[in-house]
Amino acid sequence: MEESCRAALDALPIGKSELGRRLTRSLAESGLAEAVLRVSVSWEDEKKGSAIVMVREFKPRDPELYRKGIELRTAVMRRWGFRAQDPKIKASQFMNGVLAFLDKGDAPADELLFLGQNGVVAEGSISNIFIVREKRLLTPDTASGILRGVTRGLVTELAQKRKIPFVETLLTRHEIYNANFFVKHQN
């Protein structure tokens, strides 16, 4: 978030420690045992900004999906190209995902696979994509147009700690659909 703020305009409008206190307080006040916290940062002008914390209940996926897998479809929509918005900037543009789900109509799908402007796999509509191929963990390279997010970074770190061969690369749909298996993790 801090990197996104700097790339978009300026530093976080509040300090990291204050943001941490707000997150802790918001979670405590929600009374939820498991929650999803979303922080939205905005600026009134170059000097004055604000940060809002939103809390909602965490609803885990059906455990059966982890056993049997998910229904994956390719979205007709493409992720924004580098010329539209730098993918290193995490911003709240959900319209692309909303339009993709509307476009799929009644076709069954637990998740939509987005392609980047260059036709390679970018990410899921609400998830990072990881696959296993030939005993290596693969994920799309940031050149595909994805955000270097927290979840993706954590998976990378855990793979390195466990000495799991990990490769960031350009992936095609063919590689996704022919993987040994793939792992989807909510953002």
- 47 φ, ψ (degrees, to nearest 5): -110, -25
Higher pLDDT, 102 or 164: 164
Tokens matching residue 47 = 């000097």
Give 128-138 pLDDT, tens digit per residue: 889 888 889 99
Tokens matching residue 159 = 């793979």
User: Would the pLDDT of 187 be above 50?
Assistant: no
Question: Rounded to whole angstroms, how far apart are CA atoms 1 and 52?
Answer: 13
49-to-4, 17, 18, 43, 143 alpha-carbon distances in Å: 14, 16, 14, 4, 31
Q: What is the pLDDT of residue 69?
A: 80
In the chain, what percentage of residues exceed pLDDT 90? Answer: 22
**Domain spans of the chain?**
2-57, 63-186
User: Would the pLDDT of 181 be above 90?
Assistant: no
Give 20-51 pLDDT, tens digit per residue: 999 999 999 999 999 999 888 777 776 777 78
- 174 φ, ψ (degrees, to nearest 5): -55, -45
Q: What is the pLDDT of residue 104?
A: 57
- Residue from 147, 12, 23, 13 nearest 91 by CA: 147
Higher pLDDT, 52 or 107: 52
Q: What is the pLDDT of residue 96?
A: 60
Give 138-151 pLDDT, tens digit per residue: 999 877 777 777 88
Q: What is the pLDDT of residue 184?
A: 47
Residue type, 164: I
> By the 8 A CB rule, do 123 and 85 touch?
no
Fold of 63-186: D-amino Acid Aminotransferase; Chain A, domain 2 (3.20.10)
Q: What is the pLDDT of residue 161?
A: 95
Give 54-112 pLDDT, tens digit per residue: 999 999 888 988 888 878 888 766 665 554 555 555 555 555 655 555 565 666 677 88
